[in-house]
Amino acid sequence: MKRIVSLAATALLLSGCGSFQAFQPATPPDYTGATANVADQVVVVSPQRLHVFEITQVDGRRLASSSTASTRAGKGSGMTVTPVSLTNELPLRETRVRLQAAVQYASPVVSMSNPSCRTVGEVSFTPVEGRRYTVNGRIAADACEVWIEDLETKQPVTGKVTGPGTSR
């Protein structure tokens, strides 16, 4: 009986491995043109809370995320969070980017008794050569929003992804 359970567990584990998609670069390996820099933004709200605005996918490619990097950096830090903001180089062509705005806490226990939100959605984005961009957003009681903006002009260059705020 133990052998059957062990074989079933192994089969289940291996079936999940086929669907796992490793992190990929934002620029496809076969792209040889110029790129534009897009920086995620991680805002420290308190020693235990971050507001994270990030790109998690470009044209379906799963990217390493600032939220995951912050979680890893904070392992063993007790009840404080360690912010990590990643950047990506995007090709100078129209892309579909998945944006995320989220509240991130030092631990699940802290998150259970504090306001939270997470909004995810896709927008179209065409970077321009010589420009730099940042992922920006707003987390408030009425809405959780995220967009990409030009770093110099502070003007949005994509549509906004909007979801419920922290008062839900």
Quote the domain boundaries for residue 128. 25-163
| Residue 4 lies inside a defined structural domain of this protein | no
| Residue 139 lies inside a defined structural domain of this protein | yes
The pLDDT tens digits of the residues spanning 56-84 come to 999 999 999 999 888 888 776 667 888 99
| Residue 168 lies inside a defined structural domain of this protein | no
Q: pLDDT-derived band of residue 88, with 50, 70 and 90 as boundaries?
A: very high
Q: Which helix (H) or strand (E) holds 109?
A: helix 108-112
Confidence (pTM): 0.83
Tally of domains in the chain: 1
Residue 23 has pLDDT above 80, yes or no: no
| Residue 100 lies inside a defined structural domain of this protein | yes
| Residue 14 lies inside a defined structural domain of this protein | no
| Residue 118 lies inside a defined structural domain of this protein | yes
| Residue 85 lies inside a defined structural domain of this protein | yes
User: By percentage, how much of the chain surpasses pLDDT 70?
Assistant: 85
**Dist. CA 57–CA 24, nearest whole Å:** 9
Among candidates 144, 50, 159, which has minimal Cα distance to 97? 159
Of residues 3 and 99, more confidently modeled: 99
| Cβ-contact 145, 119 below 8 angstroms | yes
| Residue 131 lies inside a defined structural domain of this protein | yes
**Dist. CA 149–CA 137, nearest whole Å:** 9
